[in-house]
Amino acid sequence: MLNIRHFLPAATLLVAISSPANAAIVVYTSQGLWGSAVANAGLGVETETFNQFADGPRTSPFVGSTASVGWSAAASGGLKVNAGVLSTASPVTLTFTFTPGVRAVAGNFFGTNANFSNASVIFTVALSNGTSYSGEASSPASFTGFRSTDEATISSLMINVEAASGSAPVYPAVDNLYFGVVPAPGALALLGAAGLIGLRRRRD
């Protein structure tokens, strides 16, 4: 498994990494750069905010969906929703699976303490193709995004956290998930029609 541990500023575009015999994955810590790259790849973005779920404990697996992506979150000991944040109920790995797989995925990954207050953590995200990335986060504002450079899809990710200092237990947490998906045929047709109209205007 490839692993990158990086602590550059949040606006920095990180490095393209690949796992042998798998798609190359580009890692971003800027949401704007990730969004631009996803759009340039012809993908649309769907967002899961977790805001539609009432606060409280959740059994594992916990499921939901965006317009075209179904997701499932799992952790031993269960999960918890608090003010639009999904976290584990104990200091264990949080695993997401996606159906169908996605060409790009991103999120606000961070950690909480036992009282579900923000904690300074080192987090690791592992993707289904074997790519792994580690970074530092101290709040839900932290952003990490991944994009497959070809048509291979990402079907799962795992999130682990460890305390940046001290030995207090910390819990993986996610504020939002973002998916880069192939637009539906109707949306592609609209994009094609818009392109033809623009081409005609330039020729006139």
Q: What is the 3-state secondary structure (H, E, C) of 72-90?
A: EEECCCCEEEECCEEEECC
The predicted pLDDT at position 192 comes to 45
The residue behind tokens 């940046």 is 164
The predicted pLDDT at position 23 comes to 63
Question: Which parts of the chain have pLDDT scores under 70?
Answer: 1-23, 186-204
Do residues 154 and 146 lie in contact, with contact meaning Cβ atoms separated by under 8 Å? yes
Angle at 110 between CA 25 and CA 57, to 5 degrees: 115
The predicted pLDDT at position 141 comes to 93
The predicted pLDDT at position 116 comes to 84
Kindly provide the b/e burial profile for residues 96-109, where b requires at least 16 CB atoms within 10 angstroms of the residue's own CB.
Answer: bbbeebbbbbbbbb
The predicted pLDDT at position 29 comes to 95
Whole-angstrom Cα distance, residue 82 to residue 105?
22
Do residues 182 and 43 lie in contact, with contact meaning Cβ atoms separated by under 8 Å? yes
The predicted pLDDT at position 188 comes to 43
Give me the residues paired with residue 175 across strands: none
Handedness of CA 145, 65, 84, 122 (dihedral sign): negative
Do residues 154 and 105 lie in contact, with contact meaning Cβ atoms separated by under 8 Å? yes
Do residues 172 and 161 lie in contact, with contact meaning Cβ atoms separated by under 8 Å? yes
